[in-house]
Amino acid sequence: MFKLNLKIALRNLWRNKGIAAINIGGLAIALAAFILVTLYFTYETSFDKENPNYENIYVVGITYPEFKTNYVAAPFAEAIRQNFPEVVSAGVIKDSAFELTIKKGKNTLFTKKILQVSYDAAKILNIQPANGLIKPAGETERLTYLSTESMKTLFPNKQDDEPEMVGFGASTSGISGVINGSIKNNLHSNFTFDGVSIGNELGKNDHYNMNDYTIYLQVKPATDVENLEQKITGLYRTELLKDKSEEKSIKEIKGISTFLDPLANQHLKPKAGNDAPYKILIAISVLGVLILVIACINFTNLSIAQAGKRAKEVGIKKVMGAYRFQLTKQFLVEILMQCLVAIILALIIAELALPRFNSLFQVHLSIWDTANGLFWKIPLILVLITFCAGIYPAIVLSGFKPSLVLKGNFSTSKQSYWLRNALLVFQFSMAVIFIIGLFIINSQLKYMRSEDLGFNVNQVVYVKNLTMFNNPAKFGSIDFEPVRQKMLKVPGIKSATVATFIPGGQNGINSYAANGIKANIDFVNVEFDYFETLDIKLKEGRFFSNKFKTDTINSAIVNESAVAKYGIKNPIGKIIRGCDIDYKIVGVIKDFKTQGFENAIQPTIYTIKDPCGSFKTEILLKIEQNKMADVLATLKAQWPEINKLDGEDFRYVFLDELYGKLFKKQEQLESVFFTAAVLTIFIALLGLYAFAKYITNGRLKEIAVRKILGATDVQLLKLINSSFFYLVVVANIVSWPIAYVVTNMWLKTFAYRIDFPVLPFVTTTLITILLTIITVSIQAKKAVNANPVDALKYE
């Protein structure tokens, strides 16, 4: 019996090979997209899961009235560990402030990220050097390890993992140290690095106003985390009151609380961070599922459309004694065969598309990696799509009544008619939503690229510098002015400046008081010509100038948002106090989008002197466009003389490239929506083409009679297109509210966005109608052009 059913299945597929190819091909394309999305979803949601303590690790954060942050004072970690028995261990981590140059002979390594990690944090986060985690001997000892990739750069011929002496900074700096060994850099972790410096304790003697560290806790299983959060908040407020360096009022302290954020949240949706990656992952996952659903609907629709061709077969088998269960099983096996072929094709397509996918999302996924779980997911997917795409057609086909199907009545029943039309409407509705989404995403990105940022990043070069500039000088830093004057002597350099932070990155945050209001706002420590270099617009007052000696002592410039925050009228000459300094406001700049379009412009203060600020290391140069190459070549040649502490290693990045990274996630989403829109409309049109072919073949006699009675080709094409035209119009109308809600929710994630457009809805409707008419007409034209005699010769 099995052999007979297999022959019947193969003959049916071969007899309808065109529609079978469309069915299998559409399903294969959708499955390939779904497999890629599954790989990406698995990768993004499994960061740090290799850690045996994954479920019990939390980040300690602080909630201020204005914002949340994961940066906390280091001594608080030990206070938590000592006071709460449910905390197994507490450790701290600090990111490196800037790139570090390491030299060994002729080999040079530029490290972008050296993590400073306490010994307890290394244990909590499973940071393990190749030769094992060793506890530093004393409080001041640091054990430094480089990633295996960095070790190969610095020691290409090294075979062992013994310690090595290296130089830091310029070759003339005279600073040396020991690399204690190598450590594997797990790219599938929130803690990626070029190297790790492990200390017994970090920041032990810091004050509570030095929030430079991230604290990680490992708690006992089954700990009441909400209760622990409340207790940690109480402890933090107590510690602030005890710490004499924290000049906060009791009222302010009561407005501060702490939170615990699971390690599982850190990659996609940290409480004190941007959850855009999580939203984009969900959007991509939903798109992948919908594409597969559309393909399954396409499969179901075409299977039902061909039901009439199998009606007599079913009727005869039932008359011969076949049970409905046997027939259902037969049709499901036929569908399983098609789905199996589709999955094989899908794996081939996914493998071919994977390099482009990896490049787009900057990941290293592989279909054949056992860690992704595809070896058990593929069979599960096969069973699910066989059931989803095949169960209804199988039940319908096996449920025919012999007395009716032998007359061929099912193909014209209302049940079949309404079901097919509903599925077609659903398919096109999804396609319409994707196309509208693509248009709106494209409009928002076009707006972001063309909108005035309030500053100019073009022709600005960011020099990767290791020297710390502060005036008046702090320990280990020098005055920037002599270096600036040397750079300005290079023909083509319009201006030069240095700051603690650059546009596109995070600013510092500190407490400032003005007009009777005290609040935490952003701060940036700068030097002369900072605003001129970036072409930032002045609203009132003046910029910093060498002509005013007080500018290096207690002058400040604020942005419009800061003026609004404090409600200052006529701000020039008013006082804003921070870091024990009464700053005099000498200028107000217009707001500019330093954090891109997703985040609102923050109230910000700019000062030259700031004892509480960071070191000024970020050098920015404004260079004439036609002299860019010559200037960079000159700087590279003269850098050891211009900036002696930085040495011979001149490195730079164009600021527009750095700022452009803020758009990266949205550009990825645009690419995904474009692919989804193309796939859904392609799959829908494949189904429409096959369905139109089936419907047209069923109306050959009607078309022939109408031609004999004088109907023109245009009238016949209009007749055949009319039913599909109405279906597409209905699909558009149904999808508009959904598309509006979804795209409007996405637009609301931007602080600065376009007005909601109407044109994409009209354009999408015209596109789908036009594609439908073209698709149906191509198929219908064959029937219209056929000789009526061929259709009626047996009548």
Give me the residue spans of the domains in the chain: 1-45+274-412, 54-265, 460-662
Q: Residue 632: pLDDT band by 50, 70, 90 thresholds? A: very high
pLDDT tens digit sequence for 760-793? 999 999 998 998 888 888 877 877 777 766 666 6
Whether 125 shows a pLDDT value over 50: the answer reads yes
Query: CB-based burial of residue 143 (10 Å sphere; 0-12 exposed, 13-18 middle, 19+ buried)?
Result: buried
pLDDT one-digit tens code per residue, 421-454: 787 888 888 888 988 988 998 899 889 888 888 8
CA pair distance 80, 233, nearest whole angstrom:
10
Residues 235, 263 contacting (CB under 8 angstroms):
no
Q: How confident is the model at residue 472 (pLDDT cuts 50, 70, 90)?
A: very low
pLDDT digits (tens, 9 = 90+) for 17-42: 766 777 788 888 889 989 999 999 99
Residue pair 598/274 in contact (Cβ under 8 Å)? The answer is yes
CA 64 to chain centre: 27
Cis-peptide into 472, omega within 30 deg = yes
Q: What is the pLDDT of residue 493?
A: 93
- State pLDDT tens for residues 314-360: 666 666 666 666 667 777 777 888 888 889 999 999 999 999 888 88
| % of the chain exceeding 70 in pLDDT | 88
Question: Is residue 404 predicted with pLDDT exceeding 60?
Answer: no
CA–CA dist 22, 9 (Å, integer): 17
pLDDT per position as a tens digit, 685-711? 777 777 777 677 667 777 778 878 778
* Rounded CA separation 428/423 (Å): 9
Q: What pLDDT score was predicted for residue 295? A: 82
Across the strands, what pairs with 93? 117, 214
pLDDT number for residue 621: 93
pLDDT mean over 557-563:
94
Q: What is the H or E stretch that residue 339 is in?
A: helix 324-361
The whole-model pTM stands at 0.80
Listed in sequence order, the DSSP H helices in 643-785 are 655-660, 664-698, 700-708, 713-747, 759-785
Decide if pLDDT at 8 tops 70: no
**What's at 105, amino acid-wise?**
G
Mean pLDDT on 3-11: 66
What pLDDT is recorded for position 416?
58
Mean pLDDT score of the chain: 83
Q: What is the pLDDT of residue 591?
A: 92
* Of 464, 424, 477, nearest in space to 724 by CA: 424
- Per residue in 143-180, pLDDT (tens digit) is 889 988 888 888 888 888 888 888 887 777 777 888 88
CA angle 82–87–91, rounded 5-degree value: 75
Please give the C-alpha separations between residue 207 and each of 246, 548, 682, in angstroms, as whole numbers.
8, 34, 62
Helices 664-698 + 759-785 axis angle, to 10: 30
Answer yes or no: are the C-beta atoms of 144 and 109 closer than 8 Å: no
Query: Which of 108-122, 392-406, 548-562, 760-774 bottoms out in mean pLDDT, i.e. has the lowest?
Result: 392-406
Do 36 and 350 form a contact (C-beta atoms < 8 A)? yes
The pLDDT of residue 305 is 62
**252 — phi, psi (to 5°)?**
-65, -45
- 199 vs 611, higher pLDDT: 199
Q: Phi and psi (nearest 5°) for 212? A: -115, -5
pLDDT at 134: 87
User: Residue 53: which of 190, 218, 208, 265 has the closest Cα?
Assistant: 218
Q: Is the peptide bond before 277 cis (omega within 30 degrees of 0)?
A: no
Q: Which of 390, 416, 388, 411 is nearest to 329 (CA)?
A: 390
pLDDT > 90? residue 207: no
